[in-house]
Each structure stands twice: as structure tokens, then as C-alpha cells.
Amino acid sequence: MRLRTSRPIVLVLIVLIVGGQLTIPQTKAQRSSDLTDVRVAVYDGGSGVTSEPRESSMAALYWMFRWMNATVEIVNSTGIKQGILDNIQIIAVPGGYAYDYYLDLGYSGASAIRDFVAGGGGYWGSCAGAYYACQEFEWSEYGETGTYYYGLKLFPGRGVGPIIGIADWPDMIMTNIRMNTSNDLIDLSQEPTSHSIMYYGGPYFETEGVNGITTLATYSFNGMPAMIAFEHVQGRVFLTGPHPEWEEDNFRDGCVWDNYLEEDGSEWNLCKEIMLWLTPNIDTTHDPLNWILISSLGVIALVLVVVWFSRK
């Protein structure tokens, strides 16, 4: 008789444990509000190169990511070549000069970044960091235009700059961009429809005929893509021509030289939404209700086990 009564108990126990894990509906995950526990590497652009745009962009990225509560580390090409990205979730490449990055990183450094992104890492590229991510890019300076192919080839299209009509190189200016707040990739519904952002020779992106690219913002001047985002193998990439990391009216970005420009609002909240998208595995906290239900089933199962053994 005991054997007969114990079998239903065991059956119920199995159903509760297995069914509890498999059939409880999973509600939408709670969204992380910042980059706590996210590790970000900001590439230094080459320790032997002195460049005010690069150093300022690097500093602004560093302090912006710190503001997002990320763990941030400045890394050089030697560290990248030796595998430092194995412990990183996002790499950010600042403004500066893409050719310097090409020389500093070389083949092995570039391959390490490509492998990092293909394996699931995130890539942030500002201005030169965006040029460097392109399959090819066009650069015009002092009346001469050249096309270059030494980039990372993460973006299978072309970057073009500087944009004549916004500012001649090496002039900088605030420029307006129109936000694609209804895009299907990143939730920008809380963003204003336009931003005024520092422009310093960055590209627009030729995306026509290139699949899988989402335009997050366009230049008001010519309607061409100013910010794009896309997936690359298992990783994610964000590229921006202008510099949303710079705070022209605030010293919290660690930069002083650009504060004579007038900024109409910060872009750091916009950047945080993009960074959250670049790190998909931070949005993994399940609804607490699910854990309460599963825990309750565990307690019931434990009681049934105790009852079963007490009757033997």
C-alpha cells in the first residue's frame, strides 16, 4: 500500500519540478538601468601619438562610461594583441586618426578586434573609430580626396568625410542630427527628435544596398546617416560620425578645450541606451514573480519528499 501511494507523490514531485521550470511563462526581462558589471575598454589610439582630438575623445568616452557605472580600462595595442579583450565586453575606439590606428594595431591587433566582435563583443566607434571600422572610406583634405581600404571591415559599406558644407577640416562646429526614434533596433522613444552635436571631420555612412544596417540618426544638412548600428556575426557595432561623448558645456567629460561651444542638452542618455544594446547579456534579470513561483514550487516539492520518506 505504501508503495502504491508513494508513486503518485513521486510523479507529482517530478511534474512540479520539471513543469515549474519549463511551463511557467517568462515575462519580459527587467531592463538594466546602467552598465554596472559591464567591462569596457577604451583604446588609447597609440601611446606614441599626440593628438588633441584623440586624447579628448578618449577622455570623454572614459568619463561617460564611468558615469554609466561601467568598469572602464584604457588599453593599448600591446594589451589588445596579448588578449586583454578576453575579459572585456565592449571596446570603444575614439576620434583621432584612423591611419594612426592602422599603424599602431597592425594586422594582429586588428584581427584581435575583429575576432572579439565576431565572438559576441560590442564595438563603439566615434569619428576616426567609425572610419576605421569601415570596409572602405573616403577622406578629403586640402583639396585632395583619397579612398582607403585598411579598416576593420566591420561595416561592409563606405564612410565619407569630412562633410563639406558642415565644416572644412580641421574646423569643428555644432551640427544638428535628426533621430530615428522609431527604429526597430534600439528603443530611442524617450529621445528628442533632434540633437545638436559636435562635428569634427567625421563621416556619413553609405548604407544603400547594405543589408542589416539600422540608421539611428541622419545629418540635418544632407539627410545622410550620421549614426548606424548593426550586428556583426555574434557581436554588435555602433558607429557615429559626430561626437556625442563630448559635453561642450560641462566639464564632467574631462575635457576643457571644447567648452567654448554651446550645446543644447547632453547626449549621454542617448549613448547609454546604445551601450545597453551593445551589451545584450546585461538584460538577463527575470521578472521577480517567476522566481517567487519557482521557489514556491521548490518548497512544495521539499514537503512532498519529507512526507514520502516519513511514511516509509
Q: Which three cell numbers stand for residue 133?
A: 571600422
Looking only at the bridges linking them, the beta strands covering 39-43 and 71-75 are parallel
CA dist., res. 261 & res. 100, Å (int): 27
Where do the domains of the chain lie? 39-282
Identify the CA nearest to 127 among candidates 25, 225, 243. Answer: 243
**Hey, what CATH class is 39-282 in?**
alpha beta
Q: At what angle do helices 268-278 and 52-67 cross, to 10 degrees?
A: 80
- For the entire predicted model, the pTM comes to 0.81
Neighbours of 178 (CB within 10 A): 16
pLDDT digits (tens, 9 = 90+) for 275-295: 999 997 654 333 444 434 444
Neighbouring residues of 28: CB distance < 8 A, sequence distance ≥ 6: 287
**What's the chain's average pLDDT?**
83
Which run of H or E residues covers position 55?
A: helix 52-67
Q: Who has greater pLDDT, 53 or 63? A: 63
CA dist., res. 60 & res. 248, Å (int): 10
pLDDT digits (tens, 9 = 90+) for 233-285: 999 999 999 999 998 777 788 776 555 676 678 999 999 999 999 997 654 33
The reply to whether omega before 170 is within 30° of 0 (cis) is: yes
The reply to whether omega before 225 is within 30° of 0 (cis) is: no
Which residue is it, cell 512540479? 16
